[in-house]
Structure 1
Amino acid sequence: MHKSLQSDLLQWPVEAVLSELALTLVLDVGKTRTKLLAIDGNGDLLRSWQRESRCVKTAEGYRALDSADVAAWLSDTLSCMGSLRKSVRCIVPITHGAAFAGIGPSGLALPIPDYEFEGFEDRAAGWSKSVDSFAQTLCPVLPLGLNAATQFDWLERYVPNKMAAVRQWMPYAQYWAWWFSGVASSEVSALGCHTLLWKPREGDWSSLAVRRGWAQRFAPVRHAWETVGLLRPDLAQLFGLPRGVRILCGAHDSNACLARYMRSWPRMTLVSSGTWVVVMASGTSMKALDGTGDFLANVSVRGDPVPTGRFMGGRDIERICAGASPSLADVQVMNSLIERGVHIEEGGQRIVLSDGQCIHVDQAAKHFNDGERATLAALYAAQETTRCVRSLGAVGPLNVDGPLALNEVYLEALSALIGDVHASDDPIEGTARGGYVLARWTDPRPITPRVRFVAARKVTDKLRQ
């Protein structure tokens, strides 16, 4: 904000200042944490709230996302925003992928499944042969419920009555858009997030989705940046929000982060970090995708297929740190570990010690102090990211977003291994900033991403070898 304008605003009554803020609220429901961020018309974060994301065991016998808990927390938070409430103009829902809500006559027809429910490993005979080919979906058959089609098949076999009660399916982000507005919708970045329900090249439903009758029950597809409706009058009154608050369709979280960069850099590689580390190589050829490994195509908010590699980096870092703060990672400690030959093998299960012996990562606390474990975790994440980038044949500058954009060991190691690395310099994480960008998607001038160049000045040459 310009100093002159800031000075003028200080002379105004508080209510007048707030009325000029034109707040965008971004609801960011991640697998680990759920956040609500209030961002003003200048793109500055005014306030944020967050809590742990939770799961529950359902009466139907499967683990589900605790959407009721999110709704209760969200209601309390919106009601306690104070004078900020009158300045809200727009709400953008962003959520993790592989989550779908089935709506019946009076709301949710069944609890929203958690893709980490182990029961999803109980597959129907010949399941992998019944799905569309990788050439069609650009997605392999994945473990647990990471494929939405696997969830749907399991639900039809084990809770058929509940499944029959579903009138409309919608992705998780669009469930919250529906919760706010009462308008049902679907969106391509969520439909194309390793679901086996979508054909990214054609921008249409897979033959499996059509054959099983699932596609026909999905809500209409809308653009992520579209206003699907206005805040329900009863919620406006309950929360003390203005009537006429726009509710956007919303998007899958990693793709919201990608949307932050797309208008400025159509050919680039994004590392979106959180529970998952997702490497998205926008503008890269699909030739690297052959159906092996955890490589697939995501679908951008524009509907374009994006070659993608992934690993559960946030969980890996937490496991390797074993209680240590990731912020304790240190470049000099990293150099010492590398010089001694200490490293974590690909896959993240075993640590190679300086004498060549191996231990399981769960034993790390017995052999390494807090700083060493945090450093090993950052170094491992950088090496796995490099593997994804090289496997995809990624092009353009590499931009790191999310928590890893603040981890100097990770960034310097990545720069030493790849080069041309940039880190987000935005005080707002990419997923939430992407939501804010979607709210202004049709503005003639794109919002330029704030990034900084990372130079590997302190890293031992042994890492590059």
Structure 2
Amino acid sequence: MKIPVIAIFDIGKTNKKLFLFDEDYKIVFERTARFIETKDEDGDTCENLESLRLSVFDSLHEVLRNKQFDIKAINFSTYGASLVYVDENGKPLAPLYNYLKEYPEALKKQFYDTYGGEKEIAVSTASPVLGSLNSGMQLYRMKYEKPEIFAQVKYALHLPQYMSSIITGKMHSDITSIGCHTNLWNFEKQNYHEWVTKERLEDMLAPIFSGDDVMQSTFPSENYLTGVGLHDSSAALIPYLESFKEPFILLSTGTWCISLNPFNSVPLTKEELDKDCLCYLSFQGKPIKASRLFAGFEHEQEVKRIAEHFETSVGKYKTVKLDLNLLSEYLPKGSLVKYFDTLEENHFDFSKVNLTDFEDDVAAYHYLIFTLVFKQYVATTLVLKNTSVKRIFVDGGFSKNQIFMNLLAMVFPEIEVYAASMAQATSMGAAVAIHKHWNKKPLPTDMIALKLFVSPVKNN
């Protein structure tokens, strides 16, 4: 008897994965691919779209040949801020430009001078000024720098929707991609920003299709219900939204540590935008206030520095246990929260710390995490204030870090702090989004494993 499954393509910048989930949301098959990047016409590295497309087809053929599985549905979760320019047949006309590609200052100035200034646009679109990371700016650039290609473009599709289109033959937009620091969406008016209309770009943004709906596939046959594809940050939140109804924050940790608060609908202020806050749209079109911190990247760089200085291996720091005696050197006599509240936001800069000041590498590592938790406290507090959040769920790399988790419990003493683990959160989210279409079983209650952390210090 074949196992009914949903196939999810999870496309990250580095790894491209295919997962098959059974009806209990257990992973029953996994395949990973990595591609060599190609270069655009300026010599900047970018995703190889053709390799990506062929890999999807090859993976599906492989699963179809496997007599164990019965594919009921297909969906995609991919990184955001990347546009595929397609002609009327859905064929790409240009490279998939890297969202880190440098944005021309003159064009940026032209845009913001024309449409009301950086602050004004940032507030209404809930998008900090991020250059190419604001994907709407990529489309604006295409219009002014490559008019010959622009004239042939039928639609500019965000990457998740392009991936879905190669299976369905249908071209759509999705609210999780549009509502993610793109500069395209006016959060106040819940519609495209007026600059999109004035530049006559609205028709190039395909009709919006609901993230929890499905269409029929055309490849490899018409038997498969297919989702429109989701932006990965929004997809990762879906299992939590389905599992917990009381207000919570999800702290998703990786290279970026993103604090997502689906229960904060207060519009972003200019001050919050200046501090790297933004809004996402959930797959149901609701705003999710978020703050970003480049903590995973800083951790990686500084761990390398510690390992080199003390002649140890980087891997050692994945399992360092909490040592309260080491931490007590940095902890105030009273409340850690009150102490942190007296500090300037840029008080700690571990990169400038002299490592010879520490007795050993473990002491240095404890201090590094202490400084990162301060920064995390500042960033998470931005989206926490004026809400009734009672829980923080931490997933990703830092959820496994004992020192980080214990310190986080100390700086949020009124809130339950949990390490959350879930097999492949973004893929699971893309599967759960279209659950009602392919799965007759109720959603399982054990999708997310939780471990509560309690402050290790009483005087808080």
Give the TM-score category using the shorter length. Answer: 0.7 to 0.9
CA drift of 1:349 comes to 8.6
Unaligned runs of 5+ in 1: 1-15, 237-242, 353-357
Partner residue of 2:161 out of 174, 178, 198: 174
Letter of the 1:175 counterpart: Y
| 1:431 to 2:419 alignment | no
Identity rate, percent: 20
CA drift of 1:300 comes to 0.7
Letter of the 1:312 counterpart: F
Specify the SS of the correspondent of 1:263: helix
Aligned to 1:100: 83
Aligned to 1:251: 230
Partner residue of 1:127 out of 92, 98, 111: 111
Specify the SS of the correspondent of 1:145: helix
Aligned to 2:70: 87
Aligned to 1:139: 127
CA drift of 1:114 comes to 1.0
CA drift of 1:98 comes to 0.9
Specify the SS of the correspondent of 1:332: coil
Q: 1:454 to 1:218 in 2, by over 3 A?
A: same
CA drift of 1:313 comes to 3.4
Partner residue of 1:113 out of 97, 116, 120: 97
Q: 1:145-224 counterparts in 2 under 5 A? A: 145-224=132-211
Specify the SS of the correspondent of 1:26: strand
Q: Normalising to structure 2: TM-score of the pair?
A: 0.81
Distance 2:33 2:297 in 1: 18
Letter of the 1:420 counterpart: E
Specify the SS of the correspondent of 1:22: strand
Distance 1:122 1:348 in 2: 34
Q: 1:287 to 1:212 in 2, by over 3 A?
A: closer
Letter of the 2:233 counterpart: S
Specify the SS of the correspondent of 2:19: strand
| Structure 2 contact 40–97 (Cα < 8 Å) conserved | no
Cα root mean square deviation, aligned: 3.3
Letter of the 2:407 counterpart: A
Q: 1:380 to 1:118 in 2, by over 3 A?
A: farther
| Structure 2 contact 318–401 (Cα < 8 Å) conserved | no
Partner residue of 2:418 out of 422, 425, 443: 422
Moved more, 42-51 or 129-138: 129-138
Count of aligned residue pairs for this structure pair:
426
| 1:406 to 2:411 alignment | no
Q: 1:264-413 counterparts in 2 under 5 A? A: 264-266=243-245, 267-286=247-266, 289-290=269-270, 291-322=273-304, 324-325=314-315, 328-332=318-322, 336=326, 339=329, 350-351=349-350, 358-359=352-353, 378-392=369-383, 393=385, 395-413=389-407
Distance 1:218 1:340 in 2: 52
Distance 1:41 1:77 in 2: 20
| Structure 1 contact 316–377 (Cα < 8 Å) conserved | no
Q: 1:460 to 1:103 in 2, by over 3 A?
A: farther
Distance 1:369 1:77 in 2: 48
Distance 1:110 1:390 in 2: 41
Q: 1:225 to 1:337 in 2, by over 3 A?
A: same
Distance 2:202 2:358 in 1: 52
| Structure 2 contact 5–70 (Cα < 8 Å) conserved | yes
Distance 1:217 1:186 in 2: 10
Specify the SS of the correspondent of 2:133: coil
Letter of the 2:426 counterpart: T
Distance 1:55 1:250 in 2: 22
Moved more, 380-389 or 215-224: 380-389
Specify the SS of the correspondent of 2:350: strand
CA drift of 1:146 comes to 1.3
CA drift of 1:22 comes to 1.1
Distance 2:362 2:76 in 1: 37
| Structure 1 contact 321–370 (Cα < 8 Å) conserved | no
Distance 2:55 2:441 in 1: 36
Moved more, 64-73 or 277-286: 64-73
Q: 1:366 to 1:68 in 2, by over 3 A?
A: farther
Distance 1:365 1:72 in 2: 52
CA drift of 1:87 comes to 1.6
Letter of the 1:289 counterpart: T
CA drift of 1:102 comes to 1.2
Q: 1:183 to 1:293 in 2, by over 3 A?
A: same
CA drift of 1:78 comes to 3.5
Distance 1:326 1:137 in 2: 43
The one-character-per-residue Cα deviations of 1:137-186 (angstroms, maximum 9, x if unpaired) are: 122322x4111122222233332222222101221111110112211111
Unaligned runs of 5+ in 2: 305-312, 332-339
Aligned to 1:4: none
CA drift of 1:324 comes to 1.5
Q: Normalising to structure 1: TM-score of the pair?
A: 0.81
Distance 1:155 1:76 in 2: 32
Distance 1:198 1:310 in 2: 19
Q: 1:380 to 1:340 in 2, by over 3 A?
A: closer
